Amino acid sequence: MSATGDVLFRWRSWLPLLLLPIFLATFTGASYPRGSHRLDLLWEGSCLLVSVMGMAVRVFTAGTAPRGTSGRNTRAQKAALLSTTGAYSLVRHPLYLGNFLIALGMSLFSRTWFLPLIVSLAALLYYERIAAREEQFLDAQFGEAFRAWAARVPAVVPHLRGWQPPALPFSWARALDREFYAIAEIAVAFFVLDILEDWSVEHRFELDPVWTTVAIAGALFFAVMWSRKKLGRRASR
């Protein structure tokens, strides 16, 4: 379990791409709901909303989590302290819950029953291994404090009555610094999904103005945040 969890943890940002062929296959023979492009856009907006909910979970978690906790690192587990307040008072793995909602929103885009099911099952198997390895690490690192927290907080289904205010106030700077990659990825992913769907339905390349605007905004946001982060690192040297 330890070796498998370490491998999945290290490559967790890339392994979901293995589902890409299934995503592409769902657009074969696609059609707009009731033949209406407007209804299709409403459905796509609803799918985006699900993914935005997942992104909101990640942003809130990142914006209230202290530095020294595991984030986008992939080389090894790390935790200078145990986070038990804020999002971590509701669920032990809020970032993975956010990831699941993001992926679920994208899978619903296809309007098929089987793709969301496949994504849900894959996420269950995938994150269960990673989460088990992380908790093994936290148990060794924090001992009884971790076990007491794990006993009262569920793994992925939030227990709202267990809410405890975060130890740190929410910081937009901290949140966006950690999550700007994911925000931009969502914007571009939905843009690409819409192109693929329109190509399958209308057999021609078309740029929807709504999703093109979303993608451009996401790309500009990424460029600004990436430049800001790089300049900040240079200034701190």
Integer Cα distance of 57 and 158 in angstroms: 11
Residue 7 has pLDDT above 70, yes or no: no
Is residue 228, in this structure, part of any structural domain at all?
A: no
Phi, psi of 217 (to 5 degrees): -60, -40
pLDDT confidence tier of residue 3, bands split at 50, 70 and 90: low
For residue range 134-180, list pLDDT tens digits in order. Answer: 899 899 999 999 999 999 999 999 999 999 999 999 999 999 999 99
What is the extent of the structural domain holding 55? 2-169
For residue 69, list its beta bridge partners.
Answer: 79
Q: How many domains, in total, are found in the chain?
A: 1
Is residue 119, in this structure, part of any structural domain at all?
A: yes
Alpha-carbon distance values, 108 to 98, 196, 213 (Å): 16, 14, 21
Could you tell me which of 93, 98, 80, 89 has the C-alpha nearest to residue 186? 98
Is residue 26, in this structure, part of any structural domain at all?
A: yes
Could you give the angle at which helices 144-152 and 114-142 cross, rounded to 10 degrees?
150
For residue range 82-113, list pLDDT tens digits in order. Answer: 999 999 999 999 999 999 999 999 999 989 99
Written as one letter, the residue type at 50 is: V
Is residue 199, in this structure, part of any structural domain at all?
A: no
Is residue 104, in this structure, part of any structural domain at all?
A: yes
Q: Which residues of 216-234 are buried (b: 16+ CB within 10 A; e: fewer)?
A: eebeeebeebeeeeeeeee
Percent of the chain exceeding pLDDT 90 equals 60
Is residue 224, in this structure, part of any structural domain at all?
A: no
Is residue 136, in this structure, part of any structural domain at all?
A: yes
**Structural contact between residues 27 and 196, judged by C-beta atoms closer than 8 angstroms:** yes
Written as one letter, the residue type at 133 is: R
Question: What CATH number is associated with residue 157?
Answer: 1.20.120
Is residue 63, in this structure, part of any structural domain at all?
A: yes
- Model pLDDT, residue 237: 58
Integer Cα distance of 37 and 64 in angstroms: 40
Instruction: Show the CA angle centred on residue 52, arms to residues 229 and 70, nearest 5°.
Output: 50
